[in-house]
Amino acid sequence: MNVTSICCIGAGYVGGPTMAVIALKCPNIKVTVVDINEQRISAWNHPDLDQLPIYEPGLKEVVKESRGRNLFFSVEVNKAIVESQMIFMAVNTPTKTYGEGKGFAADLTFVEKCARQIAEVSTTDKIVIEKSTLPVRTAEKIKEVLSSNNNGVNFEVLSNPEFLAEGTAIQDLFKSDRVLIGGDETESGKAAVAALVSIYSNWIPKEKILTTNVWSSELSKLASNAMLAQRISSINSLSALCEETGANIDEVSKAIGMDSRIGSKFLKASVGFGGSCFQKDIMNLVYLCRYFDLDEVAEYWHQVVKINDYQKNRFAKRIIARLNGTVHQKKVTILGWAFKKNTNDSRESASIYVADELLKEGVELHIFDPMVKAEQIHQDLTNLWEARNETVNTISARLSNCIFHDNPTTALAKTYAAAILTEWDEFISYDWEAIADQMMPEAMVFDGRNITSPNEKVNQYFLGK
Ligand code: NAD
Ligand code: UGA
């Protein structure tokens, strides 16, 4: 099959960058990215590439080259479906906040809606691709929905999970460790897999394109995220033990990671992992295990999230304790709101939870992040409290104790404590000795990422040391 026209439903952190790279690498394929969010689509079409809705190093260069040539962003979802041979679904799959599986299962409303729309408007055969992260056996449900099409159209459903990490998305897409494609073992299934392989093989070496059955592909995505997060929770759990014993977590991590069987990646202790996916995907895995009566397996993975919650809470409590428990109306500064460096994404960032604990103690919280805007921080906190059914009065009282800064100088002046929560490079290069002079005389720096160097002029707390 010669693929010349594809579309992607969902112009978010996955749909946007992934399709931009496909368009760049496959100039003969027309790539249309569609979304119901008009604001997001206009930002993708903004003439000023600094206004793209997502900040990712290298993204604007890729968009610049392809946009208007063979890469298009649009709100015309039906038109894109009709005109495409292949349809990627890269819509959000958040944790359910209601009903059966609340707090654990993935909410598949958006995926199902896409499938329904594809079924309704398609008049020619389509390859439908699960790009979103989905529970194992979702393809079965998608097929069921697609079968409601009355135009005699044949649909092949493939699983092609995305493994990019934010902040390095473009580099990850250019040089993926692997591209995973799951498809049916039937003749038409194999042909669909071959068509998708032909797209990726424009830039990914053949040996890195792994084809499996659909269920293995779906489960491998959840399992990969769970394994990555499990390493972080493992090292974070040991950081607590280091603090009690005089061991140093960075030294322990290095010693562990030098064992080639273990490897050094994802062993950096932190205030806790954030991001839209790790927690969501593990909870989804826990839900699936419980569904299949595998309670011990469910509990094993659930513990990864519990340790992450423990670590965020432990860090906030450490700040309060080191300030002698008297933090009411004291200025405390959070440096870094994004869940990791080089992104403007703050979904599930550890900062949200640390801020919440501090604000509950009546801290006057000052916040600075080089990329995340004040409105977003405001929204993150409001969302958390609304989800916990806090009253409007409580929410507005707490928000009035949050002061957002567009520079670190005012954020840190006369502060009692600076908490580094994102590993932004610029925090490393600050002149901490000069900053110490501007903070309160007894001020402390709480380095939740262990990125700063020891400094005689200021009291410091390093995680796991
Ligand atoms: P996102 O929220 O940034 O983007 C999803 C987009 O889908 C939104 O813009 C939303 O408006 C749009 N959408 C929802 N329903 C729609 C519909 N019916 N029609 C048209 N548009 C619709 O989400 P994301 O971070 O890009 O994640 C998407 C999926 O990819 C999730 O399943 C996630 O788990 C997975 N994933 C994310 C990452 C990541 O780094 N963010 C990495 C790998 C996999
Ligand atoms: C993660 C995975 O790395 C991707 O492969 C996957 O595609 C993606 O989730 C997804 O499915 O959404 P991402 O969340 O963007 O990517 O970023 P990571 O680099 O994995 O970092 C996640 C969190 O863990 C961040 O808060 C980061 O600071 C933290 N982390 C990471 C640590 O605390 N220590 C480490 O050693 C590594």
Contact (CB, 8 A) for 362 and 329: yes
Nearest Cα to 274, choosing from 165, 432, 118?
A: 165
Average pLDDT for 309-325 = 96
pLDDT of residue 149: 87
Pocket test for ligand 2, best of 278, 281, 421 (most atoms within 8 A of CB): 278
State both tokens at 47: 């003439």
Q: Which atom of ligand 2 is nearest to the CA of 232?
A: 34
Q: Which atom of ligand 2 is nearest to the CA of 265?
A: 36
Instruction: Please state, for a pLDDT cut of 90, what percent of the chain lies above it.
Output: 98
Q: Is the pLDDT of residue 150 over 90?
A: no
Higher pLDDT among residues 182 and 150, named by residue: 182
For 89-143, write each residue's pLDDT tens digit: 999 999 999 999 999 999 999 999 999 999 999 999 999 999 999 999 999 999 9
Task: List, in sequence order, every beta strand (DSSP E) within 228-375.
Answer: 331-335, 364-368
Helix (H, G, I), strand (E, B) or coil at 74: strand
For 240-295, write each residue's pLDDT tens digit: 999 999 999 999 999 999 999 999 999 999 999 999 999 999 999 999 999 999 99
What are the backbone angles phi and psi of residue 58, rounded to the nearest 5°?
90, -15
Give residues (CB < 6 A) around ligand 2: 133, 162-166, 225, 228, 232, 266-268, 270, 273-275, 277-278, 339-340
Instruction: Please state, for a pLDDT cut of 70, what percent of the chain lies above it.
Output: 100
Pocket test for ligand 1, best of 8, 13, 217 (most atoms within 8 A of CB): 13
pLDDT of residue 105: 97
For 45-101, write each residue's pLDDT tens digit: 999 999 999 999 999 999 999 999 999 999 999 999 999 999 999 999 999 999 999
User: In this structure, which amino acid lies at residue 211?
Assistant: T
318 pLDDT band, cuts 50/70/90, is: very high
| Angle between helix 278-291 and 214-245 (nearest 10) | 110
Nearest Cα to 35, choosing from 49, 45, 23?
A: 45
8 belongs to the catalytic site:
no
The rounded distance, in Å, linking the Cα atoms of 4 and 71 is 12
State both tokens at 298: 């469910």
The rounded distance, in Å, linking the Cα atoms of 178 and 201 is 11
State the chain's mean pLDDT as an integer.
97
Spacing of C-alpha 364 from chain mean position: 29
